[in-house]
Structure 1
Amino acid sequence: MNRLSFRETFRAMAPAVFAVAIMALAQPSLAQQAAAPGSQQSPALTQPEPSAPMAASPSAMGQAASASLATDATAAEAGNGSLKSVGAGLHELSPWSMFLAADIIVKVVMVGLACASLATWTIFIAKTIELSVARRRLRAALAKTGGARSLAEAQFALGPKGDVLSSLLAAAIREARLSAGISSDNGIKERAASSFTEISRAEARRIRLGMGLLATIGATSPFVGLFGTVWGIMNSFIGISKAQTTNLAVVAPGIAEALLATAIGLVAAIPAVIIYNHFARGTKAYIELVSRASGAAARLLSRDLDRGHGGSLARAAE
């Protein structure tokens, strides 16, 4: 009885349960179908918006076109302005503009190096003229006294000149006059040789005047320029930290100004070293000529001493 009632109840409820299951399975598809028409209708709802400008008046369309043209012109002017500013910035990266924009310490370094370079070329011109004139005069004096047989004859051949050979002859004659009455020729020669050495050393010091400054400029100018570069780069890094940017347009000018100090230092140092080496060879050749003149004066003194123990020297002193 209970079994029959259960079967009958199941048979009676089965269609209803089946219908509920079918409806539950069909709900997602129905929702998708309901959403699909909405998505299809949304373009239709948004289609009147593009058509709105079509319905606008011609004056509104003209105003919109003029506004767009004005915007394009403004953008073009901004682009031209940026190009002009970039061009101006590149034009400003000249040595003079970088010098004006540099720090005061870097400016002092640059001015000092420029003065050192000016001093180098001034010494070059002055020493070139001085060495050439001194060599020419001394060679001419040696040629004139080459055939002289005594100090008096050599001094007469030279005349009242202020070259080094005239000083050597005058020192020999003075020593002979002061040593009158002394029979020791070796003592006279030694004292005359001492005077010749002093005159030769004085002439060497005179002809080397200015070369110490060349050596100092050549040795210290690169380091002075490097100091200016380090100081300038330090200031550039400080400016970068304040600007909080690593843009090349911001970083490059400061670094270029700093490197300009090193460039000026090399410009001052390289010619100074070359000119110093050139004058070192030139002064060495001139000192050799002075040694020849000293030897010529010593030979003339020895001849006079061998002739009569000061007879011709006394006449020269008179």
Structure 2
Amino acid sequence: MNPADAVQAMPVHEITMFGLFWQAHFVVKVVMLGLIGASVWCWAIIVDKTLLFRRTKAEMDAFEESFWSGRSLEELYRSFNDKSPTGLAAVFVAAMREWKRSFEGSGRSIHSLGQRIDKVLDVTIQREVERLESRLLFLASIGSAGPYIGLFGTVWGIMTAFTSIAASKNTSLAVVAPGIAEALFATAIGLFAAIPAVLAYNKLQASVAKAQGRLEGFADEFSAILSRQIDERIALAA
């Protein structure tokens, strides 16, 4: 049999995405499925976090408008205390709750109230930042490890392809190309999962930093307001 007849006798590989996946080695298939699943989960996180940050920004804007509208702190506290506040409202409610606890009953000193309020504000801000940052680490992990996982599938696929070439003793392009294409497809899927994850992580992390800046800025302003009231009460008590 001449080489041309041998090539024609070789099984025909389907050069499509589904064909490349279906004809790949089992290990390469596992790598591809894992990367596809990771990509789907990454996009679910991206959509969820994008909607969360938009909602958080709208809630912060609405709260700041209410806070600086001239409403009393007691009225504002009552309107948010019965809910499950987030963002700036959570910071405000936490500080007001510590403020009110310090004046309940007798024997409570207000001399260290400012320090306690600052600690409560710091803890609340950290809790809010952790809520916004949750699951972002997965995006960073896929963004950094995705290409290497795909490369592992590629290396394994190329090893399998060259083993098959050696067994068939045929080095024509028609024999080599399908196996190499199947292997490189794993790297392509790895990049497909990693690139959006990296871009989204950077964008969402910047949004977290911006929200944290707003929380800390409001906490400083509100702490100054409460500090002035504490000083007035101490002066009156003296």
Matches within 5 A, 1:38-187: 89=12, 92-148=14-70, 151-156=73-78, 158=80, 160-161=82-83, 162-180=85-103, 181-185=107-111, 187=112
Q: Cα 1:199–1:238, aligned 2, differ >3 Å: closer, same or farther?
A: same
Larger relative contact order (CA 8 Å, sep ≥ 6): 2
Residues 229-249 of structure 1 deviation map (CA, whole Å, 9 limit, x = unaligned): 000000011101100110111
Name the aligned partner's letter for residue 108 of structure 1. Answer: V
From the two aligned structures, give the one with the greater helix fraction.
1
Structure 1 residue aligned with 2:113: 188
Does residue 213 (structure 1) correspond to residue 213 (structure 2)? The answer is no
Q: Which runs of 5+ in 1 are unaligned?
A: 1-78, 312-318
Deviates more, 1:149-158 or 1:226-235: 149-158
- In structure 2, stretches of 5+ residues that fail to align are none
Q: What is the TM-score normalised by the length of structure 1?
A: 0.65
- Paired with 1:298 and 1:263, the residues of 2 have a C-alpha distance of 52
Work out whether 1:250 is the aligned partner of 2:172.
no
Distance 1:147 1:301 in 2: 17
Between the aligned partners of 1:150 and 1:306, the Cα distance in structure 2 is 19
Determine which structure has more spread, i.e. the larger CA radius of gyration: 1
Retained in 2: the 8 A contact 1:167–1:199? yes
Verify the 8 A CA contact 1:148 1:154 in the aligned structure 2. no
Instruction: Tell me if the contact between 1:176 and 1:310 (Cα under 8 Å) persists in the aligned partners.
Output: no
SS of the residue corresponding to residue 74 of structure 2 reads helix
Shift, 1:139, TM fit: 1.5
Deviation at 1:119?
1.1
Aligned identity (percent) is 36
Please give the residue correspondences for 1:252-291 in structure 2 after superposition, counting only pairs within 5 Å. Answer: 252-291=177-216
Distance 1:250 1:273 in 2: 36
Structure-2 separation of matches of 1:197 and 1:310: 27
8 Å Cα contact 1:93-1:253 kept in structure 2 = yes
Matched residue SS, 1:290: helix
Asked if structure 1 preserves the Cα contact closer than 8 Å seen for 2:125 and 2:216, the reply is yes
Count matched residues: 226
Mapped partners of 2:235, 2:122: distance in 1:
22
Distance 1:107 1:175 in 2: 56
C-alpha separation in 1, matches of 2:66 and 2:131: 24
